[in-house]
Structures are given as structure tokens and as C-alpha cells.
Amino acid sequence: MNTQADPSKEELILRAAGDVFLEKGLSGARMQEIADRAGINKTLLHYYFRTKKNIYARILGKVFSAFFSQIEEAFGDGSSFAAVLRQFIDRLLDLLAANPRVPLFLMQELAQGGTIARDILVKTLAHQRMTLPKRLVALIRQEQQAGHLGPVDPIQFMITVLGSCIYFFAAEPIVREVLASIQPGKPFDREAFLAQRRQSIFDVLYYGLKKREQSP
């Protein structure tokens, strides 16, 4: 057997495994089914990944690495809070739009306790030396001290940003049904909706956080 791993074959396995994990979870997934979905034999699957837990961890690792790499780029030297927030929202929505099944995969993992996700997250942050959460918290506090932002817990704000961006992709079928009931007969334009969603999230979060002048 060729001992040189084929990146394209590895990616094929990860995509197939992701589908199986979404359908059956980690405990219900079987290596044979993953191999069948990937169109390879089980021996080759074991050559690339010895266990299904290894495959599962690799998928989570790729998700976290892609997320932090994209969001890290939102920070530029001297960027204003508004610019960082807009870039944060734009890049996260772009990532989710390109990988719409990621939220469901993560929700399923968290529903099972999230142990593997926590371990992979810690390793990803340590390996890539990313300080994104701390930097965002520091930026919010800096803006608050300058009198530009109102009193809000930075951690709560970050969770709100993530939830606002992720929800549509996690609940798209429900969102579509609600919109259809409100606007019967109007076809759903996903691209236009996401563009509107992008601006709406920024407006609600940014202007909701901006410090208001005291009313007379």
C-alpha cells in the first residue's frame, strides 16, 4: 500500500463521515457505513483514520480551525469596534453559508455532552495561539471606557453575536415555513435574505450597544 496519504481521499472520507454522523450520531455511526459512503474499503478507511472517534475529532478540528482563522482576520491594526463587528459577522456568515451543515453537527455534538468539542477547542486555541475571545472582550471594554458603548457584559455580547449568526442555518426549514406563512406565494430568495440578515444583525447589535444620550 502506498504510505503517502492522499488529501483528496481524506477529504472525501471526512465529508462522508460528516453525513453519517449527522444522521446517526457518533455512537450510532459505523466504520463500514462511512467506508461505503466514501466509496472505499474498510481497510483503507482504517489506514487514514484508525477509529471513528479520530474521524469525528478531525471534523471538529477543521470546523474550529476554519472558524477562528476566518474571524481572526476581522481584526486589523487599529480597527474600530464597528469595523471589527461587521467583519466578524460577515466572515462568520460566509463560513456558515459555505458549510451550512456545521451548526447541526455542532448542536448534535453538544447534545451528547460536548466533551470531544471542548477538548478539540482547547487544542485548537493552544495550537494556533489564537487570542480572539480575549481581544474582542478587551476591545469592547476599551470602547466602554471611552464612553462609546453602553454597559453590557462582553461575554454575553459575544454569545449573542454567535447565536444571531448561527440560528438561521440551524433552523432554516422552520424559518422558511414561518416566512411562507407570513408571505404566502412569495418564493424564498435565500441570497437576498442572507444579505438582509447580515445587515440586520449588525444594526441590532451595534446600535443596541451604542451609548445613548440621556433623555431630558
- In tens, the pLDDT along 60-96 reads 888 888 777 777 776 665 678 888 889 889 988 998 8
Q: Tell me the average pLDDT across 154-159.
A: 90
Q: Which helix (H) or strand (E) holds 148?
A: none
Q: Is the pTM of this model over 0.85?
A: no
For residue 78, the model assigns a pLDDT of 61
At 82-135, the pLDDT tens digits run 888 898 899 889 988 888 888 887 888 888 788 888 888 887 777 655 567 777
Q: How far apart are CA 5 and CA 14, in angstroms?
A: 14
Residues of the chain with CATH 1.10.10.60: 1-50
Q: In CATH terms, is domain 60-209 a member of 1.10.357.10?
A: yes
Place of cell 462582553: 154
Residue 56, classified by CB atoms within 10 Å of its CB into exposed (0-12), middle (13-18) or buried (19+), is: buried
Considering the domain 1-50, what is its CATH architecture?
Orthogonal Bundle (1.10)
Lowest mean pLDDT: which of 17-21, 31-35, 69-73, 169-173?
69-73
Residue 77, classified by CB atoms within 10 Å of its CB into exposed (0-12), middle (13-18) or buried (19+), is: exposed
Task: Return all residues near 191 (Cβ < 8 A) that are at least 6 apart.
Answer: none
Residues of the chain with CATH 1.10.357.10: 60-209
For residue 101, the model assigns a pLDDT of 80
From the list 6, 33, 9, 8, the residue with the least C-alpha distance to 22 is 33
Q: How far apart are CA 153 and CA 59, in angstroms?
A: 32
Residues 108-135 as b/e (b if ≥16 CB within 10 A, e otherwise) read: ebeeeeeebbeebbeebeeeeebebeee
pLDDT band at 177 (very low <50, low <70, confident <90, very high): very high
For residue 21, the model assigns a pLDDT of 86
Higher confidence at residue 114 or residue 161?
A: 161
Lowest mean pLDDT: which of 71-75, 82-86, 138-142, 202-206?
71-75
- Collapse the DSSP code of 149 into the 3-class scheme (helix H, G, I; strand E, B; otherwise coil) and give the result: strand
For residue 3, the model assigns a pLDDT of 45
